[in-house]
Amino acid sequence: MQVYIMRHGQAFTSGKSDALRELTVQGQLEAKLMAKWFNTQKIEIDHIIVSPFVRAKQTSQQLLQQLGNKINLTTLDFTTPSGSVKQMHDYLDGICVKDNVKTLLIISHMPFVSYLVAELTENGDCPIFQTAGVACIDYDTERMKGDLISLTSPYDIKNKAKLKK
């Protein structure tokens, strides 16, 4: 199973409670850029799990517009910034394996996304995510652990595009 873990796009830092913070214009562009990246990589997402916080939901909406609205979407309360990575791991091993999900995308927040990568990987990798950054884990459902394959951000994609010019 391929598990992609994504941090939401850039969000406003003040003015509302943490759960209600919205994406900035930059954050919307970051989410769109990463959706295009999924398409160019020919990554077909079966299921998206998203935090209930506004900025994560807005990120998922940007992705669904680019990737297609037929992707299953689940909002889980334990995927907030202070959520339970252990509970997410259990959910992944239970529900996702039972439903034969091949490619899963989880959209959440720092530090949850970093701790989740550590929880799901054999080496306990705990990367720092840029906004809209995506980690790819090759997850072995038998071992219930995986290997961190890559970490890609909008910044990386923009730099690669500049180098090609």
So what's the pLDDT on residue 41? 93
At 84-132, the pLDDT tens digits run 999 999 999 988 778 888 999 999 999 999 999 999 999 988 999 999 9
Question: pTM for the full model?
Answer: 0.94
Position 124, amino acid = G
At 22-62, the pLDDT tens digits run 999 999 999 999 999 999 999 999 999 999 999 999 999 99
DSSP code string of 103-164: EEEEEE-TTHHHHHHHHHBTT---PPPPTT-EEEEEEETTTTEEEEEEEE-HHHHHHHHHHH
Phi-psi region of 130 (alpha: psi -120 to 50; beta: other; left: phi over 0): beta
15 contact partners, CB below 8 Å, separation of at least 6 = 21
So what's the pLDDT on residue 125? 85
At 69-97, the pLDDT tens digits run 688 899 999 999 999 999 999 999 988 77
d(CA 129, CA 92): 21
